[in-house]
Amino acid sequence: MPIRPVRPIRPVRPIRPVRQDELTALQDIERAAGLCFREVGMPEIADDEPPTTAELAAHRDAGLAWTAVDAADTPVAYLLAERVEDGTLHVEQVSVHPDHARRGIGRSLLEHLARYAVGEGAPALTLTTFAEVPWNAPYYARCGFRLVEEHELTPGLRRIRAREAAHGLDRWPRVCMRRDL
């Protein structure tokens, strides 16, 4: 029987809180990561502007913005979260620069948030995402999230969905997902 080569272990990127001077770098990551939406017929998403520096700063000031960094301590990915009235932490955004994609960085950010949420006593993580985009709902299902049915939506998730609909995101099928902790 032939010996299979051992797959190299991917180095885990350090994850730390976002610094004030990195907010524009996060916007650049978001713009670069969004370009892949063109390939799936969603150019409006690819062209959508990232969160403003004020919006990013609000997440950072709330202690709910983290970045994965490279060896030079430069952000290559980030995650924003928000607290929902039902006690969960909601994944507002996860973006990985395409030059660093498919290396487990997004999953590492989600795991970091899960550990943080457990420390805060949150019962679950929630998120909303595109149902049919391969790196959205199917990816999050592989990360332990399950679909939330309409009758399960909390008032907080309903408000988040309404905000997204007002932004025009409902032009494509979207779902809510939950990962119990």
| Domain definitions of the chain by residue range | 15-180
- Cα gap 48→166, rounded to integer Å: 14
The pLDDT tens digits along the chain (181 residues) read 455 554 444 455 699 999 999 999 999 999 998 888 888 887 787 788 889 999 999 999 999 999 999 989 999 999 999 999 889 999 999 999 988 888 889 999 999 999 999 999 999 999 998 887 877 888 899 999 999 998 989 988 889 888 887 776 766 778 999 999 9
For residue 131, what pLDDT is reported?
81
For residue 9, what pLDDT is reported?
42
- Cα gap 126→105, rounded to integer Å: 19
Q: Are 34 and 45 spatial neighbours (Cβ–Cβ below 8 Å)?
A: yes
3-state secondary structure 158-170: HHHHHHHHHCCHH
Interval 126-156: pLDDT, tens:
999 888 787 788 889 999 999 999 898 998 8
DSSP label at residue 134? T
Query: What token pair was written down for 163?
Result: 């905000």
Q: Where are the beta strands (DSSP E) in 5-156?
A: 15-17, 65-69, 75-83, 89-96, 124-130, 146-148
Beta-strand relationship, 124-130 and 89-96: parallel
Q: How many CA atoms lie within 13 A of 6 on its CB side?
A: 3
For residue 40, what pLDDT is reported?
81
For residue 64, what pLDDT is reported?
98
CATH architecture of 15-180: 3-Layer(aba) Sandwich (3.40)
- Element housing 175 (H / E): strand 174-180
For residue 167, what pLDDT is reported?
74
For residue 45, what pLDDT is reported?
79
- Cα gap 23→52, rounded to integer Å: 9
Roughly how many angstroms between the first and final C-alpha of the chain, as a whole number? 42
For residue 138, what pLDDT is reported?
85
Q: Look at the chain and count its residues.
A: 181
Q: Amino acid letter at 106?
A: G
Q: How many CA atoms lie within 13 A of 153 on its CB side?
A: 15
